[in-house]
Amino acid sequence: MKILVTVKEVTVVDDEFEIDGLSIDDRYVTYDLNEWDEYAVEEAVTIAEDVEDVEVVTVTVGPERADETIRQALAKGADRAVRVWDDRLAEASMLDPATKARLLGAVAEEEDPDLVLTGVQSGDDSLGATGVSLAERLEMGWAAVVNQLDLSADEGVAHVHRELEGGVDEISDVELPAVLTIQTGINDPRYASLRGIRQAQSKDLAVKSLDDLGLGPDALDSPIEQTALYEPETEGEATLFEGGAGETAGELAGLLREKGVGQ
Amino acid sequence: MTVLAVAEHRRGELRDVSDQLVAAGYDLADETDSELHVAVVGGDTAEYGDRLNRPSVDVVHTVEAGAEFNHDVSVQAVEQLVDAVDPTVLLLPHTVNGMDYAPAVASQLDRPLVTDAVDLAVDDDLTVTRELYGSKVETTVDVHADRAVVTVRPGEWPPADGNGEASVEAFDATIDESQVRSTVTGFEEAVSGDVDITDADVLVSVGRGIEEEENLDLVRDLADALGATLSASRPIVDNGWLPADRQVGQSGKVVTPDVYLAIGISGAVQHVAGMKGADTIVAINKDPNAPIFDIADYGIVDDLFDVVPALTEEFQ
């Protein structure tokens, strides 16, 4: 069995930052493996440990810098990785879900996985649409926002719980092959071991261009364009207590007592 | 031209987001001089069709399609309805079920998709306002196409209300069962423990800023000193540091205490959805730009590891 995990390197913005055109000024950003994708990787690696003969392949769309992120997934137990990149992608302000599905879909078609796992959404763009777009493109079944997964490869079915709003789970059966978007909290993502980190350095990380994937330049044509980026006007009218911790805690204590708290 | 908004229902009830979608649809229809159509797929379509007949809605389409949401059925039904109505903008909810079918609808229809809209405007193009980086910044996205699919964030539009004069029309969708690859077999409520955070008058709520499980004692001590109940935002529950019945937010509990003390909680939209109804909201967070300060009544911009012990001491 083969499991493909799509992962994304996300932009993490400092508490204090400046905006430079349509992006955050480089000085205030770091990059990391998307939080939701960490859970997707863990789920795949756990299945590989429980079931015999499972290969876990991770795929990402990103520049060379993203190798560091994808090696995190390899260090946690993925077997090999594919990174898709084209320099023209650096100019795209925002990848729409269809474009992303086209790029990832081309890799998925080459890999022909039985199961595709991805995070529910990314921590930066938060479009939350890649997994289901990809499923539709691959003509696979799918389930979004999965917080429990019981794979029954023999029956060709994934028994899943989908986390609905308000503390209610929907219980569903999804035919395989399928794309499942994984919610945080479904498992307890491991830390990479030193041995894992060492091994990751020698695992296969293939870099593919659009040409390699048989995609023409129009594969990047996007009908949506980011036109502005700005800090939202604060709607807040919070009264801020100022001063040292002793002082602010004292003022807050006064307020709480006024409200009848702690009496 | 036509704007089409598709309502959401679950387990016998039309969900609140439905009337918000009608409101968003109304704004858009008004701006573009379009008709406003609303649709509901499955469930008690007679009752829902009646409910969705809000002022300024021109047509309500009801589609018989089983009792509960199934994405494979919804994708087919909405696709056929769109073919019939040809809306310039199709509005779907950015909910868990919306996320489960909107991308497939857009893909099937070959229309661009923009998700999680917090505002919509039309100039030459449709412009969608959305948030990035956990609500730190807003961005505008222009759609260069004459047709689009947009999902709308719950809670951003005041719900439509009242009775309208729409014609309620049954729409016959043909569902190809061979394309139905998933089956909903049931629902399960999160297990609840012995504490009901929705009953508490005062909640001390802890978030990611607490950093380590060991540090939870700091907020436990504060809750004890205040006679308050301890609750948490999602990351704390995801880490298994507190049980799921302590979680405040969209996927947890909606709480309305007299006082809500948010400690090390950034205030992501999913969290705010669960606590914005509190009478008094107090936030302690070292990030002055944290969105929690947008809805807080009182705040302290400082390190919680300094402020919380000092506050506890005040009550001992």
Q: Tens digits of per-residue pLDDT, B193-219?
A: 778 899 999 999 999 999 999 999 999
Band of the pLDDT at B251, cuts 50, 70, 90?
confident
pLDDT tens for residues A45-72? 999 999 999 999 999 999 999 999 999 9
For position B195, what pLDDT does the model report?
84
Q: How far is A41 from chain B (nearest CA, A)?
A: 16
Sign of dihedral through CA atoms B113, B119, B122, B125?
Answer: negative
Domain ranges, ordered by start, for chain B: 2-179, 197-314
Same fold, B2-179 and B197-314: yes
pLDDT exceeds 80 at position A93: no
Q: Is there a contact between A132 and B99 if contact means CB atoms under 8 Å apart?
A: yes
A111 pLDDT higher than 80: yes
pLDDT score at A123 = 93
Q: Is the pLDDT of residue A199 over 80?
A: yes
- pLDDT tens-digit readout, A214-249: 998 888 989 999 999 999 877 778 999 999 999 999
**Is B311 in Cβ contact with A253 (below 8 Å)?**
yes
Comparing A94 with A13, which gets the higher pLDDT? A13
How far apart (Å, rounded) are the C-alpha atoms in residues B116 and B133? 13
Q: For domain B197-314, which architecture applies?
A: 3-Layer(aba) Sandwich (3.40)
Domain boundaries, chain A: 2-220, 232-263
Question: pLDDT at position B289, please?
Answer: 87
Give domain A2-220's CATH architecture. Answer: 3-Layer(aba) Sandwich (3.40)
pLDDT higher than 80, residue B190: no
Indicate the pLDDT class of residue B47, thresholds 50, 70 and 90: very high
Q: How many CB pairs under 8 A join A and B?
A: 268
Closest residue to B141, CB basis, from A171, A227, A248: A227
Using CA atoms, how far apart are residues A259 and B291, in angstroms rounded to an integer?
A: 24
Handedness of CA A100, A106, A107, A112 (dihedral sign): positive
The proportion of chain B whose per-residue pLDDT surpasses 90, expressed as a percent, equals: 92
A91: pLDDT confidence band, cut at 50, 70 and 90? confident
Evaluate whether B301 touches A240 at the Cβ level (below 8 Å).
yes
The pLDDT of residue A232 is 85
| CATH of segment(s) B2-179 | 3.40.50.620
Vertex B45: Cα angle to B39 and B49 (nearest 5): 55
Over residues B272-292, mean pLDDT: 94
The whole-angstrom distance between B79's CA and the closest CA on chain A is 13
| pLDDT (mean) for A184-191 | 95
Q: What percent of chain A has pLDDT over 90?
A: 88
SS3 B264: coil
Out of A24, A125, A132, the one facing B104 most closely (by C-beta) is A132
B236–chain A nearest CA distance, Å: 10
Q: Residues of B numbered 218-257 whose beta carbons fall under 8 angstroms of chain A's beta carbons: which are they?
A: 225-228, 234-235, 237-240, 244, 247, 250-254
- Average pLDDT for chain B: 95
Residue B134: per-residue pLDDT: 85
> Is B267 in a helix, a strand, or coil?
coil
